[in-house]
Amino acid sequence: MKLSRTLSGRLTVYTVLTFTLLLLVCFTLLYWSINRMLMQSMDEDLMEDISEFSHTLSNEGISGVIDEINKETANDEHESVFLMLLDSDLTLIHQSDMYFWNGLEPDFSLVRAQLSNAYEPVILTMDLDSQEARTRTIYGRLSPEHVLILGESTEDHQDITELLVFAFTAVFLLAIPIASLLVWLVTRRTVSGIHRVSVAAKGFSKGDLDSRANLQGQLEEVQSLADTFDAMAGRLQALIHHMREMTDNIAHDLRSPLGRIRLISESLLHKPPDSRQIAESVDHTVSECDRLIRMIDLSLDVAEAEAGVLTLHTQTLDLSDLCRDACDFFEPAMELKQIALLRSIERACHVKADSNSLQRLLSNLLDNALKYTPEGGEISVAMKRMNGCVVTEVADNGIGIPPISLNHVFDRFYRADSSRGGMGCGLGLSYAHAVAKAHGGELTVSSIPGKRTVFRLRLHETGVGRIVSRQVSKQGARNESKTGNTTPS
């Protein structure tokens, strides 16, 4: 893998380039500031020297100035400093040893300007062939008849700046490799989490559904990416597992009627034709075909409802009337199983809904309760208005639903007990849940295994807004009344 194509490599290059640029800018500013400070310091010294010589001239005369010039250039100072004293006739009165200042000629125009006007001293920089460094020179007026030219080599300043450049170069050559290494290590650690996510994603794409990043203590963005991937992988794994179960259930539910149709057809082929047997076989075949058609139609209805494209012919209706009709329809079947049906239904519970869809929804709830309630059991149906909603409860004291299955009862083709092969196709509750959601309501379930199961339907009354979903806890199911006259909560 090319370094320039990796995230860590590019981050390292960009960071080091930025660091290098900032380092160059900082050292340039530092060099400029120090050089400026040194030059200002030299100019201040030159100005101070002019002031001192002017004071000496006033107090001690020309002889005092000459003595002071000789003192200034003693002890080899003449190598780095020169002084020239001129009068108003531009005649050189005295000068220091000029051996190291060959080629120096005073600028008489500046001398005349200083003599004719009380200007501030003039400071300028000169380049002399006899000096390796540049010379800082000042033209200063000591009196109306005398001008002093004072020059000083900038060699010391040049040495300081050269030392500064050397130090900068050394720091630069050391800092860049060290910074590159540190940035590389930091970026490698930063992107290691991304690499872990990438490895986990590749494993997941190859069929390892348990592949996860499982990162802890990463930077916020990387940790968020890893957590999001793990959550997505978990959901996809659950979805794939559910799809496999659903496929198995579909295959099982389709295989049974198809197997019976095949068995009936084979029996007709291997036995002598008999009109009575043919009629019975055709009747069984039609029944099995109808069951298959109902299963397919119901599956399509569930899919349409979950996708939000189910056609609903809504109108304002009294849900209590539909509920009583459904109870009346199932009551004979309950009497055959000696199941008591207890009702507590308020009147005038108006909702805006599709009548046929709600009839099927209530029928599915009652049919589910009838299937799983043993003989001599009890089913209660309650309905009341509460907080702008119509709440309907269908409860039974049947076998209940295991906690592990409670979150899947509304999944298509799901059965809490896979051994119940002949008790429905696993679509009734899925349809009921999808219809409730399509009407802007909710259908929830709570259960205590072996004791009680409650399905609760909440629909908004006419003119009331959409319902906010809420969870029904197992503890709440325990606190519900165990009598037949159950009221919604």
Percentage of the chain with pLDDT > 90?
Answer: 19
R_g of the chain computed on alpha carbons: 51
What is residue 211's predicted lDDT score, i.e. its pLDDT? 84
Residue 158: pLDDT band with limits 50, 70, 90: confident
What is residue 424's predicted lDDT score, i.e. its pLDDT? 54
Whether the predicted pLDDT of 437 surpasses 80: yes
What is residue 306's predicted lDDT score, i.e. its pLDDT? 62
Q: What is the pLDDT of residues 88-104, one digit of tens each?
A: 888 889 988 888 888 78
Q: Which of residues 447 and 251 earns the better pLDDT score?
A: 447
- Fold for the domain defined by 314-479: Heat Shock Protein 90 (3.30.565)
CA distances from 166 to 27, 133, 161, 292, 324 (A): 11, 18, 9, 91, 99
Whether the predicted pLDDT of 178 surpasses 60: yes
Whether the predicted pLDDT of 43 surpasses 70: yes
Whether the predicted pLDDT of 291 surpasses 50: yes
What is residue 382's predicted lDDT score, i.e. its pLDDT? 93
Residue 476: pLDDT band with limits 50, 70, 90: very low
Q: What is the mean pLDDT of residues 469-480?
A: 34
Q: What is the pLDDT of residues 64-89, one digit of tens each?
A: 999 988 888 776 666 788 899 998 88
| Cα–Cα distance for residue pair 85/96, rounded to 1 Å | 9
CA distances from 357 to 167, 295, 391, 458 (A): 86, 16, 17, 15
Which range has highest mean pLDDT (208-217, 306-315, 419-428)?
Answer: 208-217
Tokens matching residue 136: 């800082």
What is residue 445's predicted lDDT score, i.e. its pLDDT? 92
- The secondary structure element, H or E, covering residue 87 is strand 81-87
Whether the predicted pLDDT of 285 surpasses 70: yes
Residue 385 has phi, psi (to 5 degrees) of -90, 140
Residue 148 has phi, psi (to 5 degrees) of -110, 130
Whether the predicted pLDDT of 394 surpasses 90: yes
Give domain 3-159's CATH number out of 3.60.21.10, 2.10.109.10, 3.30.450.20, 3.30.930.10: 3.30.450.20
Tokens matching residue 158: 């040049």
**Model pTM?**
0.45
Residue reference for tokens 């000789």:
70
What is residue 392's predicted lDDT score, i.e. its pLDDT? 93
Helix (H, G, I), strand (E, B) or coil at 82: strand
Contact 94, 114 (CB under 8 A): no
* CA distance between the termini of the chain: 63
- The secondary structure element, H or E, covering residue 137 is strand 135-143
CATH class of 220-307: mainly alpha
DSSP 83: E
If 0-12 CB within 10 Å is exposed, 13-18 middle and 19+ buried, where does residue 293 land?
exposed
Which range has highest mean pLDDT (197-201, 263-267, 270-274)?
Answer: 197-201
If 0-12 CB within 10 Å is exposed, 13-18 middle and 19+ buried, where does residue 274 land?
exposed
Contacts of residue 457, Cβ cutoff 8 Å, sequence gap at least 6 = 361, 365, 391, 392, 393, 394, 432, 436, 441, 442, 443
Q: Provide CATH 3.30.565.10 ranges for the chain.
A: 314-479
Q: Provide CATH 3.30.450.20 ranges for the chain.
A: 3-159
Q: Which of residues 311 and 46 earns the better pLDDT score?
A: 46
What is residue 227's predicted lDDT score, i.e. its pLDDT? 86
Q: What is the pLDDT of residues 452-472, one digit of tens each?
A: 899 999 998 874 444 433 333
What is residue 403's predicted lDDT score, i.e. its pLDDT? 85
**Mean pLDDT over the full length of the chain:** 80
